[in-house]
A and B are shown apart, each in its own frame.
Chain A
Amino acid sequence: MSQSSTIDTMTPTRLPGQVRAWASSNSALVAMLLLFAFFGLTSQTFLLPNNIFNIFRQMSVVAVLGIGMTLVILIGGIDLSVGSSLFMAAGISALLLRDGSTAPVAILVGLVAATLVGLLNGLLVEGAGISPVIATLGTLIGARGLALVLMDNAQIRVTDPFFDTIAVTRTPGIEALNIPGIPLIAIIVFVLYIITALLMRHTIYGRMVYAIGGNQTAARLCGIPVKRIKILTYTLCGFYAGIAGMLIAASTGVISPNLGSGSEFYTIAAVVLGGTRLTGGIGRVEKTIIGAFILFMTLNWMTIRRIPTEWQQAATGLLVLAAILIDRLAQRERAS
């Protein structure tokens, strides 16, 4: 926020010009507000607080995956394995809980498992020099397979009071206005975003990520340990997938063999809708939550309007393409 304000004040233009500049560098936010207004006007249930909280809950898993994915995309990589890492973390935790472990142990082991998948991705890409798409496609298949072996290819129920508490807890609502409390899961997601956004802005690691994504060679010539930072970023992405796995274990209560499959595509879509460039170096973590919100409120509205799911899928694809196109046009405008 401090950055955009200094840029704005240094170019003394007319107010409409400033508004335009702001809109073109915050196109995701503008798109979100416009869509939100449109959906609110065209549906009576859409704006109900409970529906909004519902959207928050539906987007929570993709939103958390999106944090790690944004970091990986910022360094010029991609991680297709997040859905499998999430599944592995959730499955291992569920197994441990079933066999009598306490919740902290189960959560810790689950997080470590997903983090190790992330580390493996980093080593494959940066150590062995395999392209990120191929390497993470491999772990996408391998991690899910390994987890299924551990789970005996069967679904496992999560029956732990701590997980249940995470799933059902809400803040107190305002009964007079008929507003329910905010789900704990949504709060966890927002807190994770705030922490990561602050870290990216104020840590040496965050600065190095942008430097590497912007120009890897120049970053290396400045003494930045490029490989180590990239491996760390893949590892972090695995860690966030682990957290997403815990959230999905808590909210669904049952780990079935295809849990989380395909979530990588929604995650990448959310990152792109948030305006982060797939070429690396440009984008912000906090914008990915806007992208996730755009994606899931659109799906939510389509469901309310009883649009068939196959059409919903097609529309989601078009939405992502439109976002990329709009961003391109805005970029061209800024350049000229």
Chain B
Amino acid sequence: MSAPRATTAPPLLEMRGITKHFPGVMALSEVDFSAAAGEIHALIGQNGAGKSTLMKILAGVYQPNAGEIIIDGKPVRFQQPRTALRSGVGVVYQDLSLVPQLSVADNIFLGREAGGGILVDQPTLHSEAARILSELGVSGVDVRRRAADLPLAQQQLVEIAKVLSHKPRILVLDEPTAPLAEEETALLMTLLRGLKSRAIAIIYISHRFKEIMNLCDRATVLRNGRLVKTVDVASTTEMELIELTIGERVEAFFRHGEHQASDDTPVLEVEQLSVGRTVRDVSFQVRRGEIVGLTGLLGAGQNELARALFGLTLETSGVIRRDGKSVQLHSPKAAIQHGIGLLTEQRKTEGLVLNLDVRANLTLPSLSFFRRWSAFIDNRRENRAASAMAEQMHVKTASTHAPVGTLSGGNQQKVILGKWLLRDPDILIFISPTQGIDVGAKAEIYAQLTNLAAAGKSILVVSEDLIEILGISDRIMVLYQGALLQTFARADANEERLLAAIQGNLQ
């Protein structure tokens, strides 16, 4: 490979030509990746680029359709995570896998308690756990405390300790700093630098380019399931990394058509809206024909805000006005009646009823349109409307009577959008609209968004993908720790400014 090597010795880990298909999606296509002992190797790419899939293949969670994994010059095959762990591959996943009711020590040694017999040798367990933590430079964690009682950052450290206690030679960290505050992140950085001396290869997945520039030796960039390039971090710039991540063709992705808001009257006004403890005093307006992007770091409150606008959270305070009139959005039903629709990235759990056919899914929010004799559905009108919508959306299906679960991911997404188009709300809220779908389907969805806005719909797009937000929004709102930090006009926004803003630096 063209990848520069940190050392001349053969790398500890080599993955060659890794290919993985999922139904409807090519997740990885002939990806090469290597990592040497004693290096921290960043793995970067947008959502859906294939980072997590590649690491799950390394960890034995998925089996590749093609390609080989070589550790220490020997080809290996991991049928399950357990065997990978035994061969020295440890993974710290994004969502913590601690058992909340168990103590820190129990969590660290889960599944291989000391003592050998039925009884657990508690003192040995505790002293061993304490030793592992202190070796990591972690102080102030009582190993007898329940994991659930620890702050999130300490839970993260315990998780890392748990994986390290298996003495892995390859350590994978999947966005470890996403839930951490600044000081905690700094602590983690120190810890990881310390690990380098133990001849461990660390693979570090992150969206935060600054961290990567500070911490990592090399970086491998994936895009749409393909290897873009592996670079030495010392001889590259943050901008170069960002550009590699985005790719050139991004420009063609978005139609920068200037669909000015057709009139200035706001269709949605939000005043001093607070949602539980996640969103604080947010005020903004959305005008007719406008696409507003809403972004922030993971957990900054953008999802909760969007869900509250669809009546999914009851712990809200503040005023919401639709067309100037104050409204109570206490249920999705109420939100829909006030002309609001919501599409989320959770196609299978929130978007579709997989057993039901395409027709029933398309008409589910608009059943009242096809009502006759007060309680009955006018089947003929319903079928006609569903078929027309399936055609308009280019849904590829044998029949509108096929169960929607038999469709590919992209076509399922079209059914979800189609069902809202049939309902025809004035405001559409999209949460991560293109997460996990392929480039072709992405382009179609962006085109649809632009068309909808041109037709006078107001659109709120929630996404952590800055490139996407920049590409489609007329206006961009940045949330930081639950508060609206700053609103950018399209002309004033760029990647660098947004990247700074989501991390709390006012521009």
Contacts and interface: CB of A to CB of B under 8 A. Distances in A.
Nearest to A205: B375
Interface residues of B, number: 34
B162 interface: no
A131 to B, nearest CB: 21
Contacts of A281: 353, 355
B350 A11 contact: no
A326 interface: no
Interface in A170-220: 202-205, 207-208, 210-211, 214-215, 217-220
Given A3-B401, A208-B367, 7 more contacts: A3-B357, A202-B376, A202-B377, A202-B379, A218-B352, A222-B332, A225-B331
A218 B350 contact: yes
B401 A214 contact: no
B349 interface: yes
Interface in A219-233: 219-225
A128 interface: no
Given A218-B352, A223-B333, A281-B353, A211 B376 contact: no
B364 A210 contact: no
Interface in A1-56: 3, 6-7, 10-11
A207 B399 contact: no
B398 A204 contact: no
B355 A224 contact: no
- Tell me if B's interface is mostly helix, strand, loop or mixed: mixed
Contact of A223 (B336, B351, B402): B336
A282 interface: yes
B79 interface: no
- Tell me if A's interface is mostly helix, strand, loop or mixed: helix
Given A204-B367, A222-B419, A211 B332 contact: no
A149 B364 CA distance: 46
Interface string B336-356: 110000101000011111111
B365 interface: yes
Interface string B320-343: 000000000001110111000010
A269 B335 CA distance: 41
Contact of B353 (A204, A211, A223, A225): A211
Contacts of B357: 3
14 contacts: A3-B401, A203-B376, A204-B368, A204-B371, A205-B375, A210-B353, A211-B360, A215-B354, A218-B353, A221-B344, A221-B350, A222-B332, A223-B337, A281-B353
Given A210-B355, A215-B349, A222-B419, A203 B364 contact: no
Contact of A217 (B337, B349, B399): B349
Contact of A203 (B312, B349, B375): B375
A5 to B, nearest CB: 10
Contacts of A208: 367
Nearest to B399: A10
Interface residues of A, number: 26
Contacts of A218: 349-353, 364
Contacts of A219: 353, 364
Contact of A211 (B336, B344, B364, B368): B364
A204 B350 contact: no
Nearest to B378: A202
A7 B403 CA distance: 10
Given A11-B398, A210-B353, A220 B332 contact: yes
A135 B354 CA distance: 29
Interface in B380-437: 398-399, 401-402, 419
Given A10-B402, A203-B376, A214 B355 contact: yes
Nearest to B349: A217
A6 B399 contact: yes
A7 B332 contact: no
Contacts of B356: 210-211, 214
B411 to A, nearest CB: 16
A189 B171 CA distance: 66
Nearest to B347: A218
Interface string B186-228: 0000000000000000000000000000000000000000000
Contacts of B365: 222-223
B353 A215 contact: yes
Nearest to A214: B353
Nearest to A199: B375
B424 to A, nearest CB: 13
